[in-house]
Amino acid sequence: MAESGVADHQGLRFRLRDGAQVVTVTLAALYVIGFIVANAYLARYEIVRFDLVRGRYVSAGLLCVFVAVIAASIGWPIGVEYRSGDGRGKSKKTRQITALLALTLGPGVVALILRVLLAPITAGHVPWAGLLSFTFVSSGVAATLGSAAHKFAHSRGSLRGRGVTPIRVMLVGLASVALASEFGQLIYPYIFPAFGGGAAVLAVVGVDSAATPLVLREAVGRPVALVDRDDVEVDLVTCADTTSHQVEKLSLPASAIRWTSLRGFVSARDAASVLCRRDKQAINVSWPRQSHLADDPLRRAGSGGVRNDVWR
């Protein structure tokens, strides 16, 4: 009895250890994916964040994986069916034509489903081109992995003999990086920050006159889009030319911002058209919520008046 109890205790300890390792690896993978997603998005504004301790990376990675799994849901079974058809006597040409047709038509249906699912949590509509591109690439990668996984599961011998080679592992890694980067550029900018996305915050900001140069004070005297922030600086976008709808990126010290008036969210791709509208009442009417100085509920000690949870 005593030996049985010791064995059960050791078995439980090993399972807990293995579970902790799985959780650690999963969180690390999500963090790396989120880092790629966020920086692919910020690169649009020539912003690169090398700080690794940011909670938003995990949420961005989780969001990317969630959307990628849906986008790739048609690809994995296609790859498995392509490989398993070999054992049922189907010719290679027949299997290739079937897989090609499925990979051509299927992603369009999945993109439609994604558009419906993402609609409630996006600032505007994610463009069809972006959804289709991400879905096609995800489906192709998933089909390749599904085929390789089926071959691995039904083969014997060494890893190389079962299709696992350093080149293929490297290609899978590169494909994952490419998918995360594409997600960060095409879909992530439209999703609300509360859901792990990178939609910019439309706002009017008040700055410390003594700590802010005149050029920057004039630039932020009109509505801006808050793109990103850390404890040191706040990155924002403002309209540079209302005629050509050109925007410019500015960085302000976080301590120089005294108050904010939040007006809603806008995707990075729509920021120029929204900020450069000549009818400024369009912004004021659509997003009436405001907050000011002393009675500002968003003001936090040491945060410069910028709400932390928007970028957390």
Beta strands across the sheet bearing 224-229: 246-253, 233-241, 224-229, 200-207, 257-266
pLDDT bucket at 10, cuts 50 / 70 / 90: low
Indicate the range of 1-15, 153-167, 286-300 predicted with least confidence.
286-300
Contact assessment for residue 188 and residue 60, using Cβ atoms and an 8 Å cutoff? yes
- Cβ-Cβ contacts under 8 Å for 36 (sequence gap 6 or more): 177, 180, 181, 184
Overall average pLDDT of the 218-223 stretch: 76
In this model, does residue 191 exceed pLDDT 90?
Answer: yes
Predicted pLDDT at 134: 92
pTM: 0.76
- The answer, yes or no, to whether residue 234 has pLDDT greater than 80, is yes
- Whether the pLDDT of residue 26 is over 60: the answer is yes
Structure tokens at 229: 């922030």
Give the tokens for residue 65: 């994986």
What tokens does 280 get? Answer: 């400024």
All structural domains of the chain with their residue ranges:
2-194, 199-310
Residue 11 confidence class, pLDDT cut points 50, 70, 90: low
- Residue 237: which H helix or E strand, with range? strand 233-241
In this structure, what are the phi and psi dihedrals at residue 266, rounded to the nearest 5 degrees?
A: -150, 145
Is pLDDT of 68 > 80?
yes
pLDDT at 123 over 80: yes
Region 180-195 average pLDDT: 91
* Distance (Å, whole) CA 304 – CA 232: 10
Rounded to an integer, what distance in angstroms lies between the CA atom of residue 46 and that of residue 44? 6
